[in-house]
Chains A and B, each alone.
Chain A
Amino acid sequence: MANIRKIARRTFLIGSAAIVGGAAFGAWYVNRPAENPLKTPEGGAAFNPFVLIDQNGITLIAKHVEMGQGSRTTLAALIAEELDVRLEDVRVLQGQPAQAYYNSALLGELVPGNGYDRGGFAHALGETLGVLGKVLNMQVTGGSSAMKDGFTQMRLAGASAREALKDAAAARLGVAKSQLKTENGQVIAADGTTLAYTELAAEAGQMDLSEPELRPASEWKYIGKSMPRVDMAGKVTGTAQYGMDVRPEGLKFAALRANPKRTGMTKFDASAAETMPGVEGVYDLGDAIAVVANNTWLAMQALEAVEVTWGAALYPNETDQIFARIEQGFDLEANSTMRDDGDAEAGAPTGSLAVEAQYKAPYLAHAAMEPLNATALYTGDAMEIWSGNQGPMLHRQHAAAEAGLTEEQVTLHTPYLGGGFGRRGDFDYTSYVARLAVQMQGTPVMLTWSREEDMRHDFYRPGALARMKGAVKDGRAVLLDGQVSAQSTTVQVMKRWMDFEVGGPDKGHVDAIFNAPYAIENHRVRGYHADVDVPVGAWRSVAASFNAFFQDSFMDEMAHAAGVDPLEFRLQHMREEFPEGAACLEKVREMSAWTGSTPEGVGRGVAFAYSFGTPVAQVVEVVQQDSGIHVNKVWIACDMGTALDPSIIEAQMFGGMVYGLSAAIYEEITFSNGEVEQYNFPDFDATRMHTMPEVEVAILEAQEHLGGAGEPGTPPIAPALANALFDLTGTRARELPLNKTFDFKY
């Protein structure tokens, strides 16, 4: 097993064929069933890692964490569909850290190719690559992958348990299994006899499991319907338990202050803090200080009184210097040229009109509503941790390392996440609490970050620059030559999370630009890894969040240069290249009654992005009001194949859009003296009720394969808005956030 992991590491060349070889080598291993982490309950059965039934009831296990995206509900509905239970009659719990819950879809994104014209072979390759996630213990919620991962597996889990329950009932009643049916948690015999699953479970657990057939879509009761979310009642009554809400007996409350320059600590003086009200101790966490008190606020107050000398930053101190390094990235060898059609090197073809533009996108914080926190109890030979996180095995592994324990000695609970957006894949807050708990053996402690700590110690969405060259002729684009320079999220995250040195072309770095589904005769996209080391991480939609701004702002510029309506211009280049994407554009044209012209004081823009397997088109309308520009309405059309839960998809589509809208208008992380200059929401604002546009979402279902939902709504909004502002004002903004160029309503 260890060897397989080593081999996988050696061959981990992202976006290349070598990784497929690695996966193939490990096939014997990855195809072996992972151990069931559920223990057989007394008088019941754990049929598989996802279904547990005993006399107390039916429990379903969600393999992905719930951070607002609704996957707990849909994963449970997929099981329930085949198990024949009602969601209101079952408990749905979060899976513990376990290999059985590995994400089979996340790495599938890395398969070579643009994704949207993925035929059967490439799709199968993606699935093969996906199983590598098991070898790598990739129990990760991210990459908009939960449904791709769970769609078949969850239904099989439900169906195989159902068949075992029927086998047990047949044996007990002495009737043929074919005479039995199942409904609402019961097996029902032809004579009307009913046997509850809960009373059959123990016998059913003894039955051999067979691989059942899955029901056809025509028989689905839940899939495709909007199901009431299993987390909703708790979340509207304040009873849902998040990381910050756990209260183990004897809990102490701690607050954290870490180096804003992101390195070590030279010295600190806590003498003033130690005598402050409620304070029970000040702890050295290496590159951070923790104050433990009987109240979180008192701990935060005392932290202010600690005098610390921090180490210097390992990246340039000032924002301008950081961006100068990103600019220098263009002088390095390209990391990837993932699209190279025709001859882009030759430049604008004879008789064409050249268009050139440069764009800039800032660093961004995640700013999830629940500030980072985690809780731990260390007892010498074991540790229990509560941490809202997006990677249970990863968090457990790093916590165990902090405590000098094996992973098996660490129990990690994942309560609800008060927002993740990629931030809670990183494990720093779990590591810190483990480091603190070890110094407080026998006492449970919660370590909470202030909003200021949270915002100033993020793993940021990288700042990025683009150089775009294009040319138009006879109403069409004849050249698109795009270059993007930024820090690589992939490289830094894989190093930090798994100690991987990844090489090869970084597909994620150029997502939503190299695979923008526009057919252009001379079309090249090159990605550059900027040599600068600001802490960066996965931010909802990752590099697609800036690449779509570059790509579809420039598409707009080319449309205007060509004298063609921007929506029609996109369609002309997409209809044959990606019909399902074009259909999304057609849909928003219809929904918004797009005419290509707007009255005085109103502007409209359109944009499109393909990311995480899902095409999304958006039309934005802005209006000039006395108090500033207001984003009035956004029309969204998406296609992720079979729409498993329309209400949840709609919520992700407009929610993802708002996350991108907030960033597009207001948000920017800047650096001075090596420290982030934004502290709290007043410095990093977001869309609010009075600035929120009306939204209308259409869900198309033409794609053959499932696409993601959590992220694809985010990328198109920045270019759509910039394009609408151009329509309104005639000013082309090529830098985010847009409030640097325009006065918005506040």
Chain B
Amino acid sequence: MATRLTVNGKQLNTDLPEDVPLLWVLRDEFGMTGTKFGCGVSACGACTVHIDGEAQRSCQVALGDVWGDVTTIEGLGTPDNMAVIQQSWLDHQVAQCGWCQSGQIMQAASLLAQNPTPTDQDIDDAMQGNLCRCGTYPRIRAAIHDAASKIGG
């Protein structure tokens, strides 16, 4: 039976079984590879997407349970038309290997949507589930503050 999802504003259908995690529907079925696989057990945050605007680990959401509109890193902005937070990431030259950064950015975007002026403690609390083996945390923190100041005006 086909399942219908709304991803980045587009309606997409899939015949995959309903227990397949959203992560693997996005990557292998829809070819949207911006969302990354890191651990499969919700321990690293690389697969973070938004469902109805809120950060979720897509490796833990079964296809049949997706409860709202999905936004992935591709829906946030493009190289020619970046979201403010992506531009801040670029300005602060955050990424090294980059594999975790889609998830970091989606987590941070969700934080800023709920809390436009996060403190360092707020950033610690919101971002601690997102692992980065390259250790880019200082620049992530700086980019979040920078994006907050731009979004807040």
Name A residues whose Cβ lies closer than 8 Å to a Cβ of B. 67-70, 226, 228-229, 231-242, 244-245, 247, 253, 277-278, 294-298, 300, 367-371, 416-421, 448, 450-451, 647, 651, 654-659, 661-662, 680-682, 686-692, 694-695
CA separation between A309 and B129, bound complex, in Å? Answer: 36
Contact in complex: A232, B95 (CB < 8 Å):
yes
Could you say which residues of chain B place their CB within 8 Å of the CB of A300? 40
- In the complex, whether B128 has a CB less than 8 A from a CB of chain A is yes
Known: A236-B95, A237-B74, A421-B133. A369 touches B28 (CB 8 A): no
Task: Give the residue among A67, A226, A417, A692 with the most B Cβ atoms within 10 A.
Answer: A692
Closest chain B residue, CB of each to CB of A242: B99
How close is B132's CB to chain A, nearest CB, in angstroms?
A: 7
Contact in complex: B20, A298 (CB < 8 Å):
yes
1/0 per residue, CB under 8 A from A, across B27-60: the answer is 1110101111111110110100000000000000
Could you say which residues of chain B place their CB within 8 Å of the CB of A681? 39, 41, 43-44, 131
How close is A564's CB to chain B, nearest CB, in angstroms?
A: 33
- The 4 A-B pairs of least Cβ separation, nearest first, read A238-B34, A658-B135, A418-B99, A68-B97
Could you say which residues of chain B place their CB within 8 Å of the CB of A296? 24, 27-28, 37
Closest chain A residue, CB of each to CB of B89: A236
Could you say which residues of chain B place their CB within 8 Å of the CB of A451? 38-41
Contact in complex: B96, A651 (CB < 8 Å):
yes
Contact in complex: A651, B131 (CB < 8 Å):
no
How close is B66's CB to chain A, nearest CB, in angstroms?
A: 15
**Which of A70, A240, A421, A692 makes the CB contact (< 8 A) with B138?**
A692
**Which of A231, A277, A371 makes the CB contact (< 8 A) with B17?**
A277
**Which of A68, A237, A659 makes the CB contact (< 8 A) with B34?**
A237
A selection of 17 A-B contacts at a CB cut-off of 8 Å is A68-B96, A70-B96, A231-B95, A233-B79, A233-B82, A236-B82, A237-B34, A237-B82, A298-B20, A369-B36, A369-B99, A370-B36, A451-B40, A659-B135, A680-B39, A690-B128, A695-B138
Contact in complex: A238, B33 (CB < 8 Å):
yes
Name B residues whose Cβ lies closer than 8 Å to a Cβ of A. 16-17, 20-21, 23-25, 27-29, 31, 33-41, 43-44, 46, 72-74, 76-79, 82, 86, 89-90, 93-102, 105, 123-125, 127-141
Could you say which residues of chain B place their CB within 8 Å of the CB of A657? 135
Could you say which residues of chain A place their CB within 8 Å of the CB of B31? 247
Could you say which residues of chain A place their CB within 8 Å of the CB of B86? 236-237
How close is A141's CB to chain B, nearest CB, in angstroms?
A: 13
Known: A247-B33, A688-B131, A689-B140. A228 touches B74 (CB 8 A): no
Could you say which residues of chain B place their CB within 8 Å of the CB of A450? 40
**Which of B73, B132, B137 makes the CB contact (< 8 A) with A238?**
B73
CA separation between A28 and B40, bound complex, in Å? Answer: 53
How close is B147's CB to chain A, nearest CB, in angstroms?
A: 11
Task: Give the dominant DSSP class at B's interface.
Answer: loop
Task: Give the residue among A418, A686, A695 with the most B Cβ atoms within 10 A.
Answer: A418
Could you say which residues of chain A place their CB within 8 Å of the CB of B130? 688-689
Could you say which residues of chain B place their CB within 8 Å of the CB of A419? 97, 99, 133-134
Known: A237-B82, A418-B97. A244 touches B133 (CB 8 A): no
Known: A237-B77, A680-B41, A681-B44. A690 touches B124 (CB 8 A): yes
Closest chain B residue, CB of each to CB of A371: B37
CA separation between A654 and B139, bound complex, in Å? Answer: 10
How close is B18's CB to chain A, nearest CB, in angstroms?
A: 10
Could you say which residues of chain A place their CB within 8 Å of the CB of B89? 232, 236
CA separation between A416 and B53, bound complex, in Å? Answer: 29
Could you say which residues of chain A place their CB within 8 Å of the CB of B125? 690
Known: A236-B95, A237-B34. A369 touches B131 (CB 8 A): yes
Contact in complex: B35, A369 (CB < 8 Å):
no
Task: Give the residue among A295, A298, A654, A680 with the most B Cβ atoms within 10 A.
Answer: A295
How close is B87's CB to chain A, nearest CB, in angstroms?
A: 8
Could you say which residues of chain B place their CB within 8 Å of the CB of A241? 33
Could you say which residues of chain A place their CB within 8 Å of the CB of B25? 295
Closest chain A residue, CB of each to CB of B126: A689
**Which of B41, B76, B77, B134 makes the CB contact (< 8 A) with A655?**
B134
Could you say which residues of chain B place their CB within 8 Å of the CB of A239? 34, 74, 78-79
Could you say which residues of chain A place their CB within 8 Å of the CB of B96? 68-70, 651, 655
Could you say which residues of chain B place their CB within 8 Å of the CB of A235? 95, 98, 101
Contact in complex: A687, B135 (CB < 8 Å):
yes
Contact in complex: B124, A689 (CB < 8 Å):
yes
CA separation between A686 and B46, bound complex, in Å? Answer: 14
Q: A237-B86, A242-B33, A682-B41 are in contact. List 17 more A-B contacts (CB 8 A).
A: A68-B96, A229-B95, A232-B95, A236-B82, A238-B33, A238-B72, A245-B33, A294-B28, A298-B16, A298-B20, A368-B97, A369-B131, A416-B97, A655-B136, A662-B135, A688-B130, A689-B130
Closest chain B residue, CB of each to CB of A448: B37
How close is A718's CB to chain B, nearest CB, in angstroms?
A: 15
CA separation between A234 and B90, bound complex, in Å? Answer: 10
How close is B106's CB to chain A, nearest CB, in angstroms?
A: 9
Contact in complex: A238, B74 (CB < 8 Å):
yes
CA separation between A371 and B44, bound complex, in Å? Answer: 12
Closest chain A residue, CB of each to CB of B38: A369
Contact in complex: B95, A237 (CB < 8 Å):
no
Could you say which residues of chain A place their CB within 8 Å of the CB of B134? 68, 369, 419, 655, 658-659
Could you say which residues of chain A place their CB within 8 Å of the CB of B20? 295, 297-298
Contact in complex: B90, A233 (CB < 8 Å):
yes
Known: A278-B16, A688-B128. A369 touches B90 (CB 8 A): no
Could you say which residues of chain A place their CB within 8 Å of the CB of B21? 297
How close is A713's CB to chain B, nearest CB, in angstroms?
A: 9
CA separation between A655 and B33, bound complex, in Å? Answer: 25
Contact in complex: B37, A654 (CB < 8 Å):
no
CA separation between A67 and B16, bound complex, in Å? Answer: 33
**Which of B43, B101, B139, B140 makes the CB contact (< 8 A) with A680?**
B43
